[in-house]
């Protein structure tokens, strides 16, 4: 009986992870749908299909080992795709932040040079 509680909490935890993925990639849709967004979208959809079908098969006690492997593979592939998209997004955001800092420093240097030219 305790085994069923563990599996129920496992499914609940996985659905919480999926909810976070859905919130994350839908939030990124507001900034534009680029490569990492599509990667995260595909991963979230695959993970959702895998997790929902796994939960449905568990509820109806369908225990086919090959089907379980396919469903687990879908969910795992979805999580990997989401992680790859997230990593690409983080890398791109870091590069953009670096460019913004460089531009701000150049703007500050130009303002100082203009001030020096006015005072001389």
Burial class (CB in 10 A: 0-12, 13-18, 19+), 94: exposed
As a whole-number percent, the residues of the chain with pLDDT over 70 amount to 92
Q: How far is CA 36 from CA 4, 16, 46, in A?
A: 37, 22, 15
Residues 100-115 have a mean pLDDT of 91
Give the Cα separation of 65 and 80 in Å (integer).
22
pLDDT tens profile 24-75: 888 888 887 888 889 999 999 998 888 888 777 776 766 677 777 787 888 8
Sole residue written with tokens 């225990």: 63
pLDDT at 1 over 60: no
User: For the chain, which residues make up each domain, given as ranges?
Assistant: 2-88
Confidence (pLDDT) at 54? 78
The band of 103, judged by pLDDT with boundaries at 50, 70 and 90, is very high
Cβ distance 39 to 75 under 8 Å?
no
Confidence (pLDDT) at 87? 92
Q: Pinpoint the alpha helices (H) of 1-120.
A: 2-28, 35-59, 65-119
Confidence (pLDDT) at 74? 85
Which pTM value belongs to this model? Answer: 0.74
Average confidence score pLDDT of the chain: 84
Give the Cα separation of 48 and 120 in Å (integer).
67
Of 11, 23, 18, 37, the closest CA to residue 78 belongs to: 18
């Amino acid at each position: 009986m305790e085994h069923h509680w563990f599996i129920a909490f496992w499914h609940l935890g996985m659905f919480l992870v999926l909810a976070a993925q859905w919130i994350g990639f839908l939030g990124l849709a507001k900034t534009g749908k680029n490569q990492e967004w599509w990667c995260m979208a595909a991963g979230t959809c695959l993970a959702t299909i895998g997790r929902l079908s796994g939960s449905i098969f568990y509820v109806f006690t369908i225990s086919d080992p090959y089907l379980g492997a396919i469903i687990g593979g879908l969910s795992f592939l979805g999580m990997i795709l989401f992680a790859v998209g997230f990593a690409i997004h983080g890398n791109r955001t870091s590069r953009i932040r670096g460019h913004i800092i460089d531009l701000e420093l150049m703007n500050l240097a130009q303002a100082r040079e203009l001030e020096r030219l006015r005072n001389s």
